[in-house]
Homo-oligomer: A and B are copies of this chain.
Amino acid sequence: MKRNSRFSLALHALAHLAALRPPRPLTSAEIGEHSGTNPVVVRRTLGMLKESGLVSSEKGHSGGWLLAKAAEEITLADVYAALGERFLRMDVDGEDNPPGCAIERALLGGVEAALADAEALLVERLGKTTLADILARIPQPASVIGIVVN
Contacts and interface: CB of A to CB of B under 8 A. Distances in A.
A16 B103 contact: yes
Contacts of A36: 97
Secondary structure dominating the interface of A: helix
11 contacts: A2-B91, A2-B94, A5-B91, A5-B93, A8-B90, A15-B103, A87-B87, A87-B89, A87-B90, A88-B118, A111-B129
Given A2-B93, A88-B88, A129 B110 contact: yes
Interface of A: 2-5, 7-8, 11-12, 15-16, 19, 34, 36, 76, 87-94, 97, 100-107, 109-111, 113-115, 117-119, 121-122, 125-126, 128-129, 133-135, 137-139, 141, 149-150
A103 B4 contact: no
